[in-house]
């Protein structure tokens, strides 16, 4: 047996004999609510598309003359993304030129339908497509992000240019 003095815990007004610290509890509860708000914010950002997977903010639409270019606004490094070009004019030959800034950040994994011709144009890429029938004619480029960071590039569709920006997350 030890001869240590026993600490007398007072009896609370509700009849419980507890050694509680209400100021500490209030501080802990406040920190917990802030954590909940932070988690809700992250979930909301993910649902909106700010993490690069789905959501209405994940893809940006750009007009380049008669064409519509849909490119990823947010991507994740190492994952596949989709860029779609819809040529707004009828049958004929269409040219899609992608600037080198784009290819420094993205690797083109696949193109559907395959281009009639592809040519290295400086540090970029020029693709030529033949189309038949009525517009719009769609081309899909499957991309894989190589490195994290902010990508800025120029895309030219049938002579009309548009600037693209994409944030690639780690």
- Cβ 39 vs Cβ 32: under 8 Å: no
In tens, the pLDDT along 85-111 reads: 999 887 788 999 998 888 889 999 999
Q: How confident is the model at residue 5 (pLDDT cuts 50, 70, 90)?
A: low
**pTM to 2 decimals?**
0.76
Percent of the chain with pLDDT over 90: 44
CATH number of 59-169: 2.60.40.680
* β-bridge partners, 156: 97, 161
Does residue 139 carry a pLDDT above 70? yes
- What are the extents of the domains in the chain? 59-169
List the beta strands (DSSP E) in the chain. 59-64, 67-72, 74-76, 80-87, 92-98, 106-112, 117-121, 124-131, 137-145, 149-157, 160-169
Q: Which two tokens stand for residue 4?
A: 């240590």
């Amino acid at each position: 047996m030890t001869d240590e003095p026993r600490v007398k815990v007072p009896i609370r007004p509700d009849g419980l004999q507890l050694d509680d610290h209400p100021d500490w509890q209030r501080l802990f509860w406040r920190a917990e609510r802030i954590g909940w708000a932070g988690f809700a914010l992250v979930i909301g950002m993910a649902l909106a598309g700010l993490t690069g997977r789905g959501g209405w903010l994940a893809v940006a639409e750009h007009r380049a003359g008669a064409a519509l270019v849909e490119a990823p606004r947010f991507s994740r490094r190492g994952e596949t993304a989709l860029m779609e070009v819809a040529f707004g004019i009828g049958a004929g030959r269409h040219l899609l030129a992608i600037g080198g800034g784009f290819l420094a950040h993205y690797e083109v994994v696949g193109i559907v339908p395959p281009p009639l011709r592809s040519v290295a144009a400086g540090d970029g890429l020029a693709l030529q497509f033949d189309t038949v029938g009525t517009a719009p004619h769609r081309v899909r480029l499957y991309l894989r992000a190589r490195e994290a960071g902010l990508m800025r590039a120029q895309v030219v569709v049938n002579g009309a240019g548009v600037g693209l920006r994409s944030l690639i997350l780690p």
